[in-house]
Amino acid sequence: MLTFSTIATAGAARAGVLATPHGVLATPAFMPVATQAAVKAAGPDEVVATGARMVIMNTYHLWLRPGPEVVAELGGLHGFSRWPLVIATDSGGFQAFSLAERTRVSEAGFEFASHLDGRRLLLSPEESMRVQGLLGSDIALQLDVCPPGGAERPVLVDAVDRTTRWAERCLGARRPDQALFGIVQGGTDIELRLSHAEALGRLPLDGLALGGFSVGEPRAEMYRALAAVGPRLDPLRPRYLMGVGTPLDLVDAIGCGIDLFDCVLPTRNARNGQAFVADGKISLRNARFRADARPLEVGCPCPACSRGFSRAYLRHLFMAGEILFHRLVTLHNITFYQRIVRAARTAVVEGNFAAWATGCRDRWASAGAGEVGGDANPRRDAETVE
């Protein structure tokens, strides 16, 4: 079903191999977000060509539309979307956080008012597992409670305790041939995080994810908690940091022992006219690119760069509202993220990760922290509602 092994370490950073029914994944790895069973503005073959070998799709959205039974009839998510490699599905827990005004929580689960038609629907741990089973993802995520950044300790404790109980219910309801990851909560309270990781570590879960980061807490607090908790997660299981992913976040989190990432920034920033490049992030809205003949980045293998499209042409496409811009810059940004995790893996294997990471930080700092850092909380505006 799923196996994981570590092949090299450098401090807490590690390079590993994650084997699934739909392929073997070298870690660290970044998953593009395919909320509605599609990466926005890109086809499956194009995403594979960026180097991505795994995507994450969303249980809540596919539960509402087109419905898991339809997806199952059409071959599960792999057959339905034509994505040939590894698929993970989020459980719907984050949507309960991001759609809080439409949601009520109880021990039974989350009662949603659908953002499509207002129907009242109950997403319980058992229903989340039923839906993910029909979707047929390789890796399912347990239903969890994601408290907001800055939540008081009693709120965090309640979220941790309920998430543990729901993990047990998810294990009892999961599809036997589908891997299941538990989700460690606790905000930036290190003691709670570690105790929750220990509690979930006693369960027969296939991997451990860190949820509830990048939801409004100060970035420094997130890093402090991640540095304390990441290296202490079970070393025999894959570790997944959910919804966090500026380039700097990836480098620092890999240094804390994280293996898997997802984030909407590569696709969302592309739609906003922003491209990631080796020494920062550029906004093609800027008039200074109006006659810039350079590609986004020399040596980048993405379609935009390898075919010689200039920054001036890309800016023209954006200003003219041409869909081609979104496709080309989306593919460039995803390729950039794949290059980061591949370079990190090489640095771990070669034993020079610390020096490589310092070089990344220094290079990006010289471009200005905001240029590469992106938004302070990139998951806050995740692709929740179309």
Which residues are part of the catalytic machinery?
A: 90, 262
The token duo for 52 is 């991505």
Q: Which residue has the tokens 């590894």?
A: 86
* Residue 99: HSE in the Cβ half-sphere, 13 Å Cα cutoff: 23
H or E element that contains 271: helix 265-271
Single-letter amino acid, residue 181: F
The token duo for 124 is 């319980």
From residue 159, alpha-carbon distances to 103, 183, 227 in Å are: 15, 11, 21
The token duo for 116 is 């499509």
Q: What is the CA radius of gyration of the chain?
A: 20
E-assigned strand segments in the chain: 3-10, 13-20, 23-27, 29-31, 54-58, 86-90, 103-106, 109-113, 120-123, 139-141, 179-184, 207-210, 239-241, 260-262, 274-277, 280-283
Number of H helices, E strands in the chain: 16, 16
Within 8 A by CB and 6+ apart from 350, the residues are: none
Q: Are 257 and 230 in contact (CB under 8 A)?
A: yes
From residue 223, alpha-carbon distances to 74, 190, 253, 327 in Å are: 42, 11, 8, 32
